[in-house]
Amino acid sequence: MPEQPSSPVPAGSDGLRPATRAVHAGRPARTPDAPLNTPLTMAATYVGGGDVEYGRYGNPTWLAFEETLGSLEGGRALAFSSGLAAVAALLDLVAPDGVVVAPQHSYQGTLGQLGDLELRGRVRTRLVDIEDVDAVTAACEDAALLWIESPTNPALEVADIPALAAAAHAAGATVVVDNTFATPLLQQPLDLGADVVLHSATKFLAGHSDALLGAVVVRDPQLYDVVKGRRDLLGAVPGTLEAWLALRGLRTLHLRVERAQANAAELVRRLEAHPAVSRVRYPGFGAIVAIELTGGPLAADLLCRSTSLWVFATSLGGVESTLERRRRWKTEAATIPESLVRLSVGVEDVDDLWDDLVAALEAR
């Protein structure tokens, strides 16, 4: 098992720690009577002669979000209309018949896009156990792209990012890390050797289940220009309101992650002793937990429909706690147990969350 991320992430080159940068990055200049927050700029058309020219190429509200996320990840960010739009832009960079190595357990949208591209003869996909460094290294031979999720969705496997990135680079492949579950507060993949970091900003970054947004972060200026060019050409740009909401969410990311992670660790401790739970999957950090139930898929479905605080929902990363049985989706990997329930732990009182879970687990 690779070493788990530790929190907090050290201070950046500006000497500021992540919590401070989350609050202060991307703010307007401090001039008299200036707003503290970047305002919504609702503009599709701009006066010519400047850097933006047209609403598909940029927006001051997007830029504030991008500056803040880039500061946290240690690179330069680009916002997209959704996480899947960001995924599509990156996969679009793979040359025809190129090989993409990806985790066998990962976000269904990513696997769905890879499957679609492979069916149409655009790419070749090699699915791997992302925890098996030797297997991933072997799969990277002649690959164009190594796609990493860590922790994976929903199996919560942890990848050895430095080792995998080194192996992929030795084979000439670009390395993308989906950092949605860990967030930049618990893991900074660019510092671990990745070329690109991807986020479904809908989840923990925005954090309030009200904004659909994606993001990519890179350090290489040429790669930034290429990815931005794909975004501009494909029109996969974020809405101004969504970018503003995500930026507002980023301001409290450190507080939400701290509370949700503490709740998750305590729930894991209690769930491991509950007779209705046969296995608890938790990587030791973050706010996502997966449990397998002794009663099988029927018990898992009953759990999801018997809670009153926990919300039965397919998304995650919000202030509210959610849960779902992942194999209810036909596209979920067959290697994910039928009884696995993914828990996205929120910021509620942990005893209330526990009482609700116990009542649902014992609803027979």
pLDDT at 22 over 90: yes
Q: CB neighbours of 335 closer than 8 A, spacing ≥ 6?
A: 104, 105
pLDDT at 11 over 90: no
203 is catalytic: yes
**What is the token pair recorded at 130?**
């992302």
Instruction: Identify the CA nearest to 354 among candidates 274, 257, 251.
Output: 274
| Catalytic residue, candidates 76, 107, 224, 325 | 107
Give pTM, 2 decimals: 0.95
> Would you state the pLDDT for residue 80?
98
Span 317-332, pLDDT tens digits: 999 999 999 999 988 9
228 is catalytic: no
| Catalytic residue, candidates 17, 27, 46, 56 | 56
> Would you state the pLDDT for residue 364?
61
Percent of the chain with pLDDT strictly greater than 90? 94
User: Strand order in 288-293's β-sheet?
Assistant: 277-281, 288-293, 340-344, 322-325, 311-312
Span 257-268, pLDDT tens digits: 999 999 999 999
Write out the H or E segment, with its range, that includes residue 128.
Answer: strand 123-128
CA pair distance 223, 217, nearest whole angstrom: 10
178 is catalytic: yes
Span 221-245, pLDDT tens digits: 999 999 999 999 999 999 999 999 9
| Catalytic residue, candidates 203, 231, 256, 326 | 203
CA pair distance 292, 290, nearest whole angstrom: 7
| Maximal CA-CA distance, the chain | 68
Pairing of strands 98-103, 123-128: parallel
46 is catalytic: no
Question: In order of start, what are the domains of the chain with their CATH numbers?
Answer: 18-250 (3.40.640.10), 253-361 (3.90.1150.10)
Mean pLDDT on 303-311: 97
Full DSSP string of 182-244: THHHH--GGGGT-SEEEEETTTTTT-SS----EEEEE--HHHHHHHHHHHHHHT-PPPHHHHH
> Would you state the pLDDT for residue 3?
45
| Catalytic residue, candidates 178, 231, 282, 327 | 178
Full DSSP string of 44-75: SB--TTSS--BTTT--HHHHHHHHHHHHHHTS
